[in-house]
Amino acid sequence: MPFSSPWRTVQIDRVDDISDQVTLAGAERNHELSVPVTTLGLRVDPGLALKGDIGILRGNVFQIMQRVYWSNKATGITADVLSEAELTPQLWGRWEFTAGP
């Protein structure tokens, strides 16, 4: 799927709307998010480690005011579709999966 501006295009292989599979909780600056790993296409085994990031968009009904990500702190741009769509794995963190309690 292409995301374009007058000066370039960023190509994303796949974009899925998984809104109906995401559970959100919390308020203000404390948020909890739940997504089934099968929705993400992951087979999670203890010891699996991969790079990833997760974030939220804050705003009002009319516009996004802030992008906040767990690992990538270079996400302040909210009015440029290319900067928002571009993947930057060098700024992602390490996710490690362990056996449950």
For the stretch 45-77, pLDDT in tens is: 999 999 999 888 888 888 888 888 889 888 777
Residue at 101 is within a domain: no
Contact of 18 with 11, CB cutoff 8 Å = no
What is the predicted pLDDT for the residue at 75? Answer: 77
Residue 101: pLDDT band with limits 50, 70, 90: confident
Q: Look at residue 1 in the predicted model and tell me its pLDDT.
A: 87
- For the chain, what is the domain count? 1
Kindly tell me if the per-residue pLDDT of 78 is higher than 80: no
Residue 86 within a domain? yes
Average pLDDT of the residues in 88-93: 93
Residue 85 lies in a domain: yes
Quote the CA–CA distance of 74 and 62 in Å, as a whole number. Answer: 23
> Is 67 within a domain?
yes
Q: Does residue 84 belong to any structural domain of this protein?
A: yes
Distance between CA atoms of 12 and 15, rounded to whole angstroms? Answer: 7
Whether 80 has a pLDDT exceeding 80, the answer reads no
Q: Count CB-CB contacts under 10 A for residue 20.
A: 6
Range of the domain at 53: 2-96
Instruction: Supply the mean pLDDT for the chain.
Output: 86
Residue 29 within any structural domain of the chain = yes
